[in-house]
């Protein structure tokens, strides 16, 4: 027996050595595709549900609901896998995941619960003269843009709109909070910000429709007319759990609007100049079915089955509003070219996308991203003096001075 052992072991070893490389290859190719694969178990779904604090009863009477949700979860996993395979081949610049908060919903359910009705932005005209005044063009070069307003202390924490098509109110507050903090030279990182619920309940006269949708530009008009908007803490957000009556309190105003600047429809240069020089901008666009499962990378609305762009780029199908808070471009890799993008703040909580943000492809009016963009002009606040440099870099100081003079110039133009 002892004599037989060494050759046998040797044989096994050499067999193993032959087989090993093959196994490694198989293992790597399968792990990239099995992490989100259709072989998801009951446990995977139970885990997902507990991570997202959701529950579907599996008591006998409701077992169907649990099974139904599980099958949607699996179907979404297949969609994700197909897309991520296309990403691995360099066909698209973003990845999808089922780890996000919407993997138990169909596209139709998601659209009904979280998106607003399609808004028509065809009325969006420039309100008050071109952005390209001499002073701006001479100081700001035309790119490549690399700016991230999240690093400037002017944005509040990412919020969550819940099941209500109120994205437009969050786009409004996110952008107005930022411009207010810029104008007041204030660190707003820990500020809770402004009251979306007031816009849901009170802004109907300006062609807004609560949980069914609205437009930031029209919300700014309301705030201007109303003399301000309440603080988040004095008018709590309850999504659609509202009786619809306006409960605004005039004595808890958190910000004011002096005017609205509509980006010229389809003028992405105008949009980029505004983000680069003045601050965040409210944008709106058309969300298509893949977007709820976005994970990271530059969103390009690529459909891995049809190999086509899914969203429409026209101003009649805008169903989601967000805030553009910066711009950048990807580094060149051997698989993908340099891709310019907007850094965008969403209102679906921090468990969605990249800590609640996404990158949107820039420069081709993708999904109508420049059809419906606007930002508020905030009242000029007292400046200590023209050279207020309170520790800021010279670039920040320049931006600030331009913001002040530019807002003032626009205000004069729009005061009719």
Ligand X SMILES: *[C@@H]1O[C@H](CO)[C@@H](O)[C@H](O)[C@H]1NC(C)=O
Residue ranges that bind ligand X, judged by CB under 6 A = 42, 57-59, 66, 79, 83, 113, 121, 123-125, 127, 163, 215, 217-218, 240, 262, 289-290, 303, 305-306, 372
**What residues have CB less than 8 Å from 55, skipping those under 6 apart?**
49
User: Smallest gap, in angstroms, from Cβ of residue 182 to ligand X?
Assistant: 21
* Best CA proximity match to 374, nearest among 318, 322, 299, 409: 322
Residue closer to ligand X, measured from CB, 202 or 372: 372
CA distance 196 to 166: 8
**What residues have CB less than 8 Å from 193, skipping those under 6 apart?**
156, 159, 173, 174, 177, 231, 232, 254
Which of these is catalytic: 121, 164, 167, 202? 167
User: Smallest gap, in angstroms, from Cβ of residue 84 to ligand X?
Assistant: 11
Give the three-state DSSP class for 16: helix
Cβ–Cβ < 8 Å for 249, 205: no
Residue closer to ligand X, measured from CB, 340 or 368: 368
Which of these is catalytic: 83, 179, 273, 320? 320
Give the three-state DSSP class for 199: helix
CA distance 59 to 146: 53
User: Smallest gap, in angstroms, from Cβ of residue 396 to ligand X?
Assistant: 29
Give the other-Cβ count within 10 Å of 66's Cβ. Answer: 18
Cβ–Cβ < 8 Å for 135, 405: yes
346 catalytically annotated: yes
CA distance 143 to 161: 33
CA distances from 280 to 5, 88, 176, 194 (A): 73, 32, 9, 16
Cβ–Cβ < 8 Å for 138, 273: no
CA distance 104 to 221: 37
Return the half-sphere exposure (C-beta side, CA atoms, 13 A cut-off) of residue 13: 6
User: Smallest gap, in angstroms, from Cβ of residue 293 to ligand X?
Assistant: 7
Q: Write out the DSSP string of 136-182.
A: HHHHS---S--EEGGGGT--PPP-B--SSS-HHHHHHHHHHHHHHHH
State CA 268 to chain mean position distance. 18
User: Smallest gap, in angstroms, from Cβ of residue 132 to ligand X?
Assistant: 18
Residue closer to ligand X, measured from CB, 68 or 186: 68
Residue closer to ligand X, measured from CB, 5 or 306: 306
User: Smallest gap, in angstroms, from Cβ of residue 410 to ligand X?
Assistant: 12
Strand-strand pairing, 259-262 and 253-255: unpaired
User: Smallest gap, in angstroms, from Cβ of residue 121 to ligand X?
Assistant: 5
User: Smallest gap, in angstroms, from Cβ of residue 414 to ligand X?
Assistant: 8
Residue closer to ligand X, measured from CB, 58 or 404: 58
Residue closer to ligand X, measured from CB, 2 or 125: 125
Residue closer to ligand X, measured from CB, 145 or 294: 294
Which of these is catalytic: 84, 208, 315, 346? 346
Beta-ladder partners of 354: 357
DSSP code of 258?
A: S
Phi first, then psi: give them for residue 344, nearest 5 degrees.
-125, 135
167 catalytically annotated: yes
Describe the chain by its helix, strand, coil percentages, rounded to 5: 40, 15, 45
Residue closer to ligand X, measured from CB, 308 or 382: 308
Active site residues: 167, 320, 346
């Amino acid at each position: 027996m002892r004599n037989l052992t060494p050759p046998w072991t040797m044989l096994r070893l050499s067999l193993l050595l032959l087989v090993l490389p093959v196994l490694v290859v198989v293992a790597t190719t399968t792990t990239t595709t099995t992490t989100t694969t259709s072989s998801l178990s009951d446990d995977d779904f139970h885990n997902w549900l507990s991570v997202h604090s959701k529950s579907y009863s599996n008591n006998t009477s409701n077992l169907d609901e649990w099974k139904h949700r599980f099958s949607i979860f699996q179907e979404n996993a297949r969609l994700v896998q197909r897309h991520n395979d296309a990403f691995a081949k360099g066909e698209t610049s973003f990845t999808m995941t089922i780890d996000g908060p919407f993997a138990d919903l169909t596209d139709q359910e998601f659209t009904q619960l979280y998106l607003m009705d399609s808004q028509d932005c065809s009325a969006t005209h420039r309100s008050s003269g071109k952005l390209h005044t001499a002073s701006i063009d001479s100081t700001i070069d035309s790119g490549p843009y690399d700016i991230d307003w999240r690093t400037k202390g002017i944005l509040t924490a990412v919020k969550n709109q819940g099941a209500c098509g109120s994205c437009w109110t969050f786009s409004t507050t996110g952008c107005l909070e930022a411009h207010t903090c810029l104008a007041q030279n204030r660190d707003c990182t820990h500020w809770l910000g402004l009251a979306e619920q007031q816009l849901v309940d009170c802004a109907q006269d300006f062609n807004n429709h609560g949980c069914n949708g609205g437009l930031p530009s029209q919300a700014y008009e309301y705030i201007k007319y109303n003399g301000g908007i309440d603080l988040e803490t004095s008018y709590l957000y309850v999504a659609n759990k509202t009786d619809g009556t306006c409960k605004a309190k005039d004595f808890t105003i958190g910000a004011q609007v002096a005017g609205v600047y509509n980006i010229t429809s389809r003028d992405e240069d105008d949009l980029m100049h505004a983000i680069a020089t003045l601050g965040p901008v409210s944008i709106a666009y058309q969300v298509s079915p893949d977007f709820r499962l976005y994970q990271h990378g530059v969103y390009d609305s690529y459909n891995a089955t049809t190999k086509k762009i899914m969203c429409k780029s026209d101003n009649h199908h805008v169903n989601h509003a967000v805030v553009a808070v910066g711009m950048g471009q990807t580094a060149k890799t051997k698989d993908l070219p340099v891709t310019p993008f907007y850094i965008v703040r969403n209102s679906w909580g921090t468990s969605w996308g990249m800590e609640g943000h996404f990158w949107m492809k820039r420069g081709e009016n993708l999904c109508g991203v420049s059809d419906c963009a606007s930002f508020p002009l905030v009242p000029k606040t007292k400046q200590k003096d023209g050279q207020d440099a309170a520790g800021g870099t010279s670039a920040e100081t320049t931006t600030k001075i331009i913001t002040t003079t530019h807002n003032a110039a626009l205000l004069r133009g729009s005061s009719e």
